[in-house]
Each structure stands twice: as structure tokens, then as C-alpha cells.
């Protein structure tokens, strides 16, 4: 789009592109106007004009640098609180102050200085007033994600009121321990910014990404059904029949999840392989018999979010199982062309194992 910017002498200057081009054109017009105004001015008037030009240059430099200033708290929260779902992130990605520069998403500034960033392009709700005494959004999100495990255990085992109380205390202790581990890093970035044009700011930015990666893994690896006080408490709080029911339920859920992952992977592969019915069913049988050590209840995987992640990674999970089954057994089911495709899937799955473990989708080898 081409527009015009009128000068004080009645002429016009072309103005192209976004607002920064408009700012440059406006600055040029003002500079020309000031220079022309010097004609016939006294020396002290020139001093005023020089001050105006200096202020203009300073303002332009500030606007250029502003685009490189990153709000570290907003970036940290977007990466960590997003693990608990977009709604939770919209409600809690905020900070004190009256402005945020390029927070990585749409930012809304409330009259009280609270800031909230839109997630996935959605319009956030008005941010509530910041409260230093409020619980950490990490603790709130982790608790909301993990507590359904106790609800499921109660439904399967028909817990007594005392059993539920003891297990609730144990689960809360585990959640608070993990949340505090994450919050120690999060507190470093409250109200912090980094200018990426500055070496010190670049160092802060790199440290932020290291802390985010560590905290994401802490949350994704946390599974109260296998770790911590909640797991230990079940051994003493549940009766032997209740323990058997709980184990049976867990095994059934794992089997159903793996069957769904296998079906998703086979459906994708079939688009390339052109499997007949017998081949499809035989590959399905082999894969179901070689279920990897899936994790379903870790902090970043509970509920529908975990199901979606398993489905998204299904080609690599199933490919890893193919690698474990071995070439000899798979080649008895498929022809040479089909094996060429499946061998690549097996290799990719084998290479992705460590990444899948880090994401909390699989047990690690030493667990």
C-alpha cells in the first residue's frame, strides 16, 4: 500500500510498507522541516533544533531496539503452562507491569498492570489482578492434570474415606515437590526481559531455553503412579484385592492405548504399502505382541493430551516395535517393496527412542 505524508511546506512524501516505514518517513519529514526552519534563526534557536533532532534519533533507536526485547517470563510460561492445556495457559500467562514487548503472542494489558497472552491465536480473557499469595500456576496445572488418577483409583477400588484422604495427602505432596522444582527456575524470570542485540541478553535467552527444556522434562517424566509418595502409599493403604484391581485396570488401559497407536500407525503405513487384509492383521498381531513400555500418566501426558501425543508419535512408536520384532519375522508378512518402506520406519523408530523417553512417552531403559 502506498500513502502520503504531508510536510509543513505543503508537499508530500511517499510512505510504503508497515508502520516502521511510516515512522522513518515521518522522521525524515520532521528532520527536513527542522533544517528548513533554521534559515533565519538565531544561534540559540539552532540549539533547540539540535535538541529536537537528538530526541528524534533517540526515539527512533528506542523503537528499533524494542523489537528485540523479549519478555522472559512470558516465554517461560508459554512453554511450561502450555503443557497443561491452552485454557490453563490463557488464564495464567501474565506478569506485573504496564507493558510487554513482543511476548511471543497476543498480549492484553489490564488496567491493574496484569498481562495475559493469547495462546494459539485465541483471544484471552481479561487478566485478573496479580496476587503474590496465590498458588503457582505450575502447581495448579499439575494438580489439575494429575488428580484424575486418584479419581480413577477411587472408582476402580471403591476407596474408603480414610483411604482416599491418605492417598490425597500423598499425591498432593508429590505434586508440590515437582511444582516447586519447576518454580525455582520460573521465579528467576518473573518480570525479566532480555535484549537480543546485547550479548548479556543473548546469554539470558540461551539460559531460558535450557531451563525450559529441563522443566518440561521434569513435568513430562513425573508419573505419580510409578514415582514418589503416592505410589509408595498405595502399597500400604490398599488391600491386596484392591491392589489387584488397580493393576488389572492399568494393564487394560495400556493395552487399549497401544492397540489404538498400532491402528493409527498401520493406517498411515497402509496408504503407502497397500497391505491386503491378511498382511494388515498379521502385522497388527506382531505389533500388539511387542508393546513397548508406554507411560500414560506422567505430568504432561495425562488425559486427552497424552492420548494425542501417543497418536502423533505413533509411526515412531510402532517403528520402534518393528525394530524389536526384527527383519526376519516382518519379511515373512510383506514383500520386498513393502519391507523397504517398513525398514525405514523401523530405523526411524530406533533413532527416536531416546527422544520418546525424554518426552515421557516411554519408560527409560534403567527404570
Cβ burial of 227 (10 Å; 0-12, 13-18, 19+) is middle
Report pLDDT for 31: 52
pLDDT tens for residues 201-260? 999 999 999 999 999 988 888 887 777 899 999 999 999 999 999 999 989 988 998 999
C-alpha span between 62 and 70 (Å, rounded): 14
Report pLDDT for 299: 46
C-alpha span between 3 and 21 (Å, rounded): 11
Report pLDDT for 63: 47
Three-point CA angle 325, 340, 291, nearest 5°: 25
Report pLDDT for 57: 53
Report pLDDT for 184: 95
Residues in the chain: 367
Residue-range domain boundaries for the chain: 2-66, 70-233, 239-358
C-alpha span between 290 and 267 (Å, rounded): 18
User: What φ, ψ does residue 4 adopt, rounded to 5°?
Assistant: -130, 150
Range list of H helices, 118-160: 137-146, 148-157
- pLDDT less than 70: residues of the chain: 1-67, 86-133, 297-307, 365-367
Choose among 150, 170, 152, 157: nearest CA to 240. 157
C-alpha span between 127 and 120 (Å, rounded): 17
Report pLDDT for 134: 78
Neighbours of 134 (CB within 10 A): 12
* Helix, strand, coil share of the chain (percent; to 5): 65, 5, 30
pLDDT tens for residues 137-165? 999 988 988 888 899 999 999 999 999 99
Report pLDDT for 104: 35
Report pLDDT for 17: 43
Q: For residues 283-307, b (16+ Cβ closer than 10 Å) or e, as one string? A: bbebbeebbbebbbbbbbbbbeebe
Residue ranges of E strands in the chain = 2-6, 12-16, 69-71, 107-109, 115-117, 193-195
Q: What DSSP string describes 177-241?
A: HHHHHHHHHHGGGTT-EEETTSHHHHHHHHHHHHHHHHHHHHHHH--TTTSHHHHHHHHHHS-HH
Report pLDDT for 311: 80
C-alpha span between 90 and 116 (Å, rounded): 7
Amino acid at each position: 500500500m502506498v500513502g502520503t505524508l504531508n510536510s509543513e511546506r505543503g508537499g508530500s512524501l511517499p510512505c510504503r510498507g508497515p508502520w516502521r516505514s511510516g515512522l522513518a518517513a515521518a522522521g525524515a519529514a520532521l528532520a527536513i522541516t527542522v533544517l528548513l526552519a533554521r534559515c533565519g534563526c538565531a544561534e540559540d534557536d539552532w540549539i533547540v533544533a539540535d535538541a529536537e533532532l537528538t530526541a528524534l534519533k533517540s526515539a527512533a533507536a528506542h523503537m528499533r531496539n524494542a523489537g528485540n526485547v523479549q519478555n522472559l517470563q512470558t516465554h517461560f510460561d508459554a512453554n511450561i503452562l502450555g503443557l497443561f492445556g491452552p485454557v490453563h495457559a490463557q488464564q495464567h500467562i501474565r506478569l506485573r507491569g504496564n507493558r510487554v514487548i513482543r511476548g511471543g503472542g497476543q498480549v492484553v494489558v489490564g488496567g491493574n498492570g496484569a498481562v495475559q497472552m493469547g495462546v494459539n491465536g485465541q483471544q484471552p480473557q481479561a487478566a485478573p489482578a496479580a496476587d503474590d499469595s496465590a498458588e503457582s500456576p505450575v502447581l495448579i496445572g499439575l494438580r489439575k492434570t494429575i488428580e484424575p488418577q486418584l479419581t480413577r483409583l477411587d472408582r476402580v477400588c471403591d476407596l474408603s474415606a480414610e483411604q482416599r484422604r491418605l492417598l490425597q495427602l500423598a499425591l498432593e505432596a508429590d505434586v508440590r515437590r515437582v511444582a516447586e522444582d519447576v518454580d525455582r527456575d520460573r521465579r528467576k524470570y518473573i518480570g525479566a526481559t532480555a535484549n537480543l542485540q546485547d550479548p548479556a541478553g543473548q546469554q539470558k535467552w540461551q539460559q531460558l531455553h535450557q531451563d525450559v527444556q529441563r522443566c518440561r522434562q521434569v513435568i513430562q517424566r513425573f508419573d505419580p503412579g510409578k514415582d514418589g509418595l503416592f505410589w509408595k502409599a498405595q502399597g500400604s493403604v490398599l488391600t491386596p484385592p484392591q491392589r489387584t484391581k488397580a493393576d488389572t485396570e492399568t494393564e487394560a488401559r495400556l493395552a487399549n492405548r497401544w492397540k489404538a497407536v498400532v491402528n493409527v500407525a498401520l493406517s498411515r503405513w497402509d496408504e503407502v504399502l497397500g497391505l491386503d487384509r491378511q498382511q494388515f492383521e498379521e502385522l497388527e498381531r506382531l505389533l500388539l505382541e511387542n508393546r513397548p513400555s508406554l507411560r500414560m500418566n506422567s505430568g504432561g501426558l495425562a488425559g486427552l493430551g497424552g492420548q494425542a501425543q501417543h497418536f502423533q508419535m505413533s509411526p515412531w512408536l510402532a517403528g520402534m516395535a518393528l525394530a524389536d520384532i526384527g527383519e526376519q519375522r516382518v519379511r515373512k508378512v510383506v514383500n520386498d517393496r513393502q519391507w523397504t518402506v517398513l525398514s525405514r520406519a523401523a530405523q526411524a523408530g530406533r533413532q527416536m527412542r531416546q527422544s520418546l523417553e525424554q518426552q515421557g512417552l516411554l519408560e527409560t531403559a534403567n527404570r
